[in-house]
Structure 1
Amino acid sequence: MLPSIFFIGCLATLSLQGVQSKYSALDWWQTSIFYQIYPRSFKDVNGDGIGDLKGIMHKMGYLKQLGVGAIWLSPIYKSPMVDFGYDISDYRDIEPVFGTITDFNNLLAEAKAKKIKLVLDFVPNHSSNEHIWFQRSVEKIQPYADYYIWKDAKVINGERHPPNNWLSCFGGSAWEWNDKRQQYYYHAFAVQQPDLNYRNPAVVEEMKNVLRYWIEKGVDGFRMDAVPFVFESTNLEDEPLAGDYKEHEPTDHDYLEHTLTVDQPETFDLIYQFRELLDGYKLLDGYTRVMMTECYSPLDKMMRYFGNSTRRGAHFPFNFLPIERLSRQSNAKDFANTIMEWETKKPKDAWGNWVIGNHDQKRAASRFDAEFIDGLHMMTLLLPGTAITYNGDELGMEDSFIRWDQTVDPQAINVGPKRYQAFSRDFPRSPFQWDSSPNAGFTTNLYSWLPCSTPTTGTRI
């Protein structure tokens, strides 16, 4: 049986016909349901327990039946997989665990044949420490010496200390000492994810060239990951304590108020530059490449990612208000207030969007209730704007329980067994439940990279 999102999608299509009478020139990204695929967990074809590109291609018929207009793939680039693809060692190649560039080309062709757009995750903030740029930066080989953020140690009583108190999102200091270079490098996330230095124009051009490479291969746009972290202040003072710092451990990212490391003014300009690049291609062929930005930022700052009076930014920053503000404790008034806050705060001519789940948050069916899922999807599909859904949410999939000894998320591992459940992103990343067979039809392997939760009765798809 097809999930109800398919039928709701038909309702959305009908409603869009009415919208089009008012807005006669809606673009593809405004009329499409966006469906996020976490490739490691979607479908394993080669039997190694990890999802792959051939698995996505194998299920393209399912996506077409759902009424999906665009798929967004979490990172598939070459990576040591410390942060499961968000630590990239080659922006122009495919990670072998997912397949080959030929597999990607075949998937892209199949998507186009089914009239489904394909959007890639783009990770501008950092690379892997195994990237050739970082290895050459350590050696101070030009032009790579300043591709990353290097600072001298602070010496107190003859002892070496990090330059300041800045903290990593994954816990602990955001500075890591490198013996070879005899300096600290900055990492907003894992130690193995050094931040790129966007104050170096060569880095900006390198990353623009990566965008050009994938556009010219035929992709339909990008979801920009973690954009608020792209710039840090040149002021190396300590960041102040957060207002609720007593509720956190001193090593937790939320222990500090991030006045110098998040949503810096230069970040918005970089996003505007990326939009200009994408729009340059549209001037050539009349076709829009979409740009969506991930930013869990205060609304006033989030709205700046749309652009300003003279320059365009993202087609839309993800609207995370339903994730951040609503839960099973929320009532109808809470929903209405959340919707109206977004609608009244966004720029007059900006296009809206609605997100109820993704790979970093507890699943919607766990945060709300499985019985709420159909209603939540109906709400996001019928509200003005683009609907984005996370693979498995259309089934009402709930979080899998992952024991501490099964945990692989570096953010959870860093806080230890007593607190890992509050920090782990493994729970919503468990494999897709295709049916009630062993390992939920996700893999033929005895084991999957994360434990599967198999539906107890019947066939779901």
Structure 2
Amino acid sequence: MPSTEAWWRDAVIYQIYPRSFADANGDGMGDLPGITARLPQLRRLGVDAVWLSPFYPSPQHDAGYDVADYRGVDPRFGSLGDADKLITTAHELGLKIIVDLVPNHTSSDHVWFQAALRSAPGSPERERYIFRDGKGPDGSEPPNSWQSVFGGSAWQRLDDGQWYLHLFDVSQPDLNWDHPEVRAEFIDILRFWLDRGVDGFRVDVAHGLIKDAELTDWTSPATVLGGLEPVGPPPPMWDQEGVHEIYRQWRAVLDEYPGGRILVAEAWVQPEERLARYVRPDEMHQAFNFPYLEAPWKPAELRAIIDSSLAANATVGATTTWVLSNHDVVRHASRLGFPAGEPRKPGIGADDPQPDVALGLRRARAATLLMLGLPGSAYLYQGEELGLPEHTTLPDEVREDPAWERSGHAEKGRDGCRVPIPWEADAPSYGFGPSDASWLPQPSVWAEYALDRQADVPGSTYELYRSALATRREHALGSGSLDWADTGESALAFRNGGLLVVTNFGAEPVALPAGARVLLSSEPLDADGRVPLDVTVWALV
């Protein structure tokens, strides 16, 4: 286990989506007691820390990212006492706990916004949010042209004529981060959870808190997921210079606490040099590498992103944080089942082209070994250690992601990667809970992916992950360095310490150096001991 205060520099962190991980009471919704009971399995898997998506009181219009109370636990998930027990149990197991923080917006049910609705235009209560008068002779036009990430206008008009900004759902009004009361409130929220023992915060939409002071018109879609161009100035709602002052203030608070408490940026920012500014020594500790997540399954593109990421982070003394899947994107076991280079899909439905399941899993296993062989830290998304694909045939009538409705059903949304995961093949709800209830329906194929069908089974995806994490730790790959090796244009190969990592993207098998001792392979080598197509090998040389 990480033993220093810089534990995060090479840690492997496991993301839990609370409503879909484990259900203790059988109501079909995952909860904190369910998570606590399953923590020993994560200890056995070999991860270093756990990141929990939001579990705060919320009307759940955006699966908990619409927070009504930042200092509580939604009754659907349990109580503050359950949160305390989860943190204590994790620490007893040697796991660190990171919680989600959603500072860009609150729920419209938050007491601050309810007070704003009851107050007049220009009142102090409305100053905590971004209220503006409309355009046009009667103020009936939005204050500017900004669009919501979920589709439609980013402005909602009230009966008194004023408009408020919501870059996400209409139930998620954006906070005014130029207001000192907002800044003081979140400092207090940080301390509340730090005092309860959490080891850090993943900061939602970290690049969105500060808006251009003039609210300059911007006609392009406000896509937060991969929506920023790598050249030119950032859009007026994203990656504004003022966000860095906020994170310097937060870092000073975390540094008061022992044990290496961390801040993790969810910042869809390009190029890598701008993203690296979020992890300067006096700001955040980690920032997800989304360009790597979005990279096509092609060697030249992957190598370019790896090089630019390592170089940009090295200028600020930070390690790179690699990731392949999370709760906002199509799972990589399905994403990689499409032809390499296809645009990223905002969800997949039954009437959409379907991925090649076998190809997707083969590439996903290879991609995982490639990622875990890189120096730095890495995040895993619940279920990927089982090889779980996206639920690509989810019935439209059960979809809950606000992107589905706000896009006029043009985007299937993110529900397909959020389906409750399987633990036991023959149990109700595949062991998700004690009953058949499941807040999203699980596909029948979940049985073949269940943990009890894979644990202690040589060659299973679960055992591949376990072996990879143990080998990564044994050889200190996370704190190592990368030196490229020459294996031709159709493969990627690099040395990290004494370990050689080879991924073959071409039809011709790749020979390993003479005397290489294979430690791990995502699929069997060919009869001549060479690396086949879409396979990654770790070997001692």
AA matched with 1:320: F
Partner of 1:32: 11
Q: Please say if residues 108 and 114 of structure 2, whose CA atoms lie closer than 8 Å, have aligned partners that are also in contact.
A: yes
Partner of 1:320: 290
Partner of 1:10: none
Partner of 1:425: 414
* 1:389-418: CA deviation from partner (whole Å, max 9, x where unpaired): 00001111000121211111001221233x
Partner of 1:155: 136
Match runs of 1:171-190 below 5 Å: 171-180=151-160, 182-190=161-169
Structure 2 CA distance for aligned equivalents of residues 241 and 393 of structure 1 = 33
Aligned residue pairs total: 418
* 1:343-388: CA deviation from partner (whole Å, max 9, x where unpaired): 1222432111110110000001011211133332222222110111
Q: Tell me the SS of whatever aligns to 1:155.
A: coil
Partner of 1:20: none
Structure 2 CA distance for aligned equivalents of residues 239 and 413 of structure 1 = 23
- 1:86 pairs with one of 55, 62, 65: 65
Q: For residue 240 of structure 1, report the CA deviation from its aligned partner.
A: 4.2
Structure 1 CA distance for aligned equivalents of residues 197 and 19 of structure 2 = 23
Structure 1 stretch displaced more, 265-274 or 390-399 = 265-274
Partner of 1:355: 323
Structure 1 CA distance for aligned equivalents of residues 228 and 191 of structure 2 = 39
Q: For residue 144 of structure 1, report the CA deviation from its aligned partner.
A: 2.9
- 1:146 pairs with one of 127, 130, 141: 127
Structure 2 CA distance for aligned equivalents of residues 222 and 68 of structure 1 = 17
* 1:83-142: CA deviation from partner (whole Å, max 9, x where unpaired): 011000000000110001111111111111101101000101000010001111223387
Q: For residue 195 of structure 1, report the CA deviation from its aligned partner.
A: 0.5
Partner of 2:256: 280
- Please state if 1:128 is matched with 2:107: yes
Q: For residue 26 of structure 1, report the CA deviation from its aligned partner.
A: 7.0
Q: For residue 456 of structure 1, report the CA deviation from its aligned partner.
A: 4.4
AA matched with 2:283: G
Structure 2 CA distance for aligned equivalents of residues 340 and 306 of structure 1 = 17
AA matched with 1:149: I
Gaps of 5+ in 2: 337-359, 456-541
Partner of 1:460: 454
Match runs of 1:231-270 below 5 Å: 231-241=210-220, 259-270=235-246
Q: Tell me the SS of whatever aligns to 1:145.
A: helix
- Please state if 1:377 is matched with 2:371: no
Q: Please say if residues 435 and 460 of structure 1, whose CA atoms lie closer than 8 Å, have aligned partners that are also in contact.
A: no
Gaps of 5+ in 1: 1-12, 17-23
Partner of 1:367: 335
Partner of 2:352: none
- Please state if 1:413 is matched with 2:405: yes
Q: Please say if residues 60 and 66 of structure 2, whose CA atoms lie closer than 8 Å, have aligned partners that are also in contact.
A: yes
| Larger fraction in helix | 1
Partner of 1:342: 309
Q: For residue 213 of structure 1, report the CA deviation from its aligned partner.
A: 0.4
Structure 1 stretch displaced more, 210-219 or 253-262 = 253-262
Query: Cα distance 1:68–1:231, how it changes in 2: closer, same or farther (>3 A)?
Result: same
- Please state if 1:165 is matched with 2:132: no
Question: Bigger relative contact order, structure 1 or 2, given CA contacts below 8 A and separation 6+?
Answer: 1
- 2:389 pairs with one of 393, 398, 402: 398
Structure 2 CA distance for aligned equivalents of residues 341 and 277 of structure 1 = 31
Q: Please say if residues 240 and 258 of structure 1, whose CA atoms lie closer than 8 Å, have aligned partners that are also in contact.
A: no
Q: Tell me the SS of whatever aligns to 1:160.
A: coil
TM norm structure 2: 0.73
Structure 2 CA distance for aligned equivalents of residues 371 and 198 of structure 1 = 45
Q: Tell me the SS of whatever aligns to 1:228.
A: coil
- Please state if 1:444 is matched with 2:437: no
Q: Please say if residues 125 and 227 of structure 1, whose CA atoms lie closer than 8 Å, have aligned partners that are also in contact.
A: yes
Partner of 2:275: 302
Structure 2 CA distance for aligned equivalents of residues 315 and 253 of structure 1 = 21
Aligned-pair identity in percent equals: 36
Q: For residue 221 of structure 1, report the CA deviation from its aligned partner.
A: 0.4
Q: For residue 30 of structure 1, report the CA deviation from its aligned partner.
A: 2.4
Q: For residue 444 of structure 1, report the CA deviation from its aligned partner.
A: 3.3
Structure 1 stretch displaced more, 271-280 or 331-340 = 331-340
Q: Tell me the SS of whatever aligns to 1:119.
A: strand
Query: Cα distance 1:253–1:29, how it changes in 2: closer, same or farther (>3 A)?
Result: closer
Q: CA RMSD in A?
A: 2.5
